[in-house]
Structure 1
Amino acid sequence: MSIAVPTDELASTVARYDFAYLLTIGDDGRPHVTAVSPVVTDTGLVVGDLGRRTRGNLAARPVVTLVWPPGSAEGYSLIVDGGSSLSGDALVVTPTRAVLHRPAAAPDPGPGCGADCVEIPTVAEGD
């Protein structure tokens, strides 16, 4: 089942954050983290100024995660998973999942994700 990306909702959510971290996976299986400033466009989330290691990781493993940290300890992090492709000097991330996440207020929230999460609908990968 496909769920359309509410691009305007993702764009307005991203606009509340100053920067993000781009996570790629290296040849040794460890994450490589880079601070970036993604821009929401009609084609996805566009990231420029990619380094040599990031480009190499993307060529071998195009699945990425973007994490926008909260502005305060009580705020939400925005986490976006997606597929990616290089387009000239830029990376285009096609979101497959987006969630606003913060630690749970209660020490034992019971069943569920164990935190205060808000899903943001995205297009299913491959659509």
Structure 2
Amino acid sequence: MSIPVAIGDLAGALADFGSGYLLTTTEGRVKVVTVDPELDGTDLVARGPGRGTLANLAANPAVTVVFPPAEPKGYTLLVDGTAAAEGEDVRVTPTTAVLHRPRSHADGPVPPDGCGHDCAPV
């Protein structure tokens, strides 16, 4: 079950989540680091995720930021985008965002309030 989140509504959706995981790739390997990104307009800025992440971005700017559910069987917020290093930090420009959970968790909590629309799963 997925609920699209408009990029302009990302701030509202993020209000219901804590730390996220920034996923970068290079040479077929995925690197995952914990981040607490701040919003700058509609961009996410992750402070100091580390040299390995920055090296991955130099080779491949495509990223995903995963915000796990706050409670069991809740929705995960997935943000796909492109990223660039800014010194030791990373700026992610989102291209898509979605609240997602598997159908097997349909008996879980209702979608977060901040999704920006009627929150109907598609």
The answer, yes or no, to whether TM exceeds 0.5 is yes
Residue 67 of structure 1 corresponds to which residue in structure 2?
66
> Equivalent residue for 1:20?
20
Fraction of identical pairs, as percent:
44
Bigger relative contact order, structure 1 or 2 (CA pairs below 8 A, ≥6 apart): 2
Q: Summarize the Cα distance change of 1:104–1:98 in structure 2 as closer, same or farther, 3 Å threshold.
A: same
- Structure 1's unaligned 5+ residue stretches are 108-116, 122-127
Residue 11 of structure 1 aligns to a residue whose secondary structure is helix
Aligned structure 1 segments of 4 or more residues deviating by more than 4 angstroms: none
Q: Normalization by structure 1: what TM-score?
A: 0.73
Q: Is the 8 A contact 1:43 1:92 kept in 2?
A: no
Which 5+ residue runs of structure 2 have no aligned equivalent?
Answer: 1-5, 117-122
Report if aligned partners of 1:45, 1:94 keep a CA contact under 8 Å in 2. Answer: yes
Q: Deviations over 1:58-110 (max 9, x none)?
A: 11101100000001222100000001111222211111110000110389xxx
User: Quick one: distance in 1 between partners of 2:100 and 2:30?
Assistant: 20
SS of alignment partner, residue 98 of structure 1:
strand
Please say which of residues 98-107 and 42-51 is displaced more in the overlay: 98-107
Aligned residues: 104
Q: Quick one: distance in 2 between partners of 1:106 and 1:14?
A: 21
Do the aligned partners of residues 16 and 64 (structure 1) sit closer, same or farther apart at CA in structure 2, a change above 3 Å counting? same
Map of 2:3 onto structure 1: none
Determine which structure has the larger helix proportion and give its number.
2
The letter for the 1-side match of 2:96 is: R
Larger Rg: 1
Judged with a 3 Å threshold, the aligned counterparts in structure 2 of structure 1 residues 61 and 78 are, in CA distance, closer, same or farther, namely same
Letter in 1 for 2:11: A
Distance 2:85 2:104 in 1: 40
Distance 2:14 2:73 in 1: 17
Residues 24 and 32 in structure 1, CA contact (< 8 A), matched pair in contact too: yes
Query: What is the TM-score when the length of structure 2 is the normalising length?
Result: 0.76
> 2:119 matched to which residue of 1?
none
Matched, 1:37 2:36: yes
| Aligned Cα root-mean-square deviation (Å) | 2.3
Specify whether residues 61 and 105 from structure 1 end up closer, same or farther in structure 2 by C-alpha distance, changes over 3 A only: same
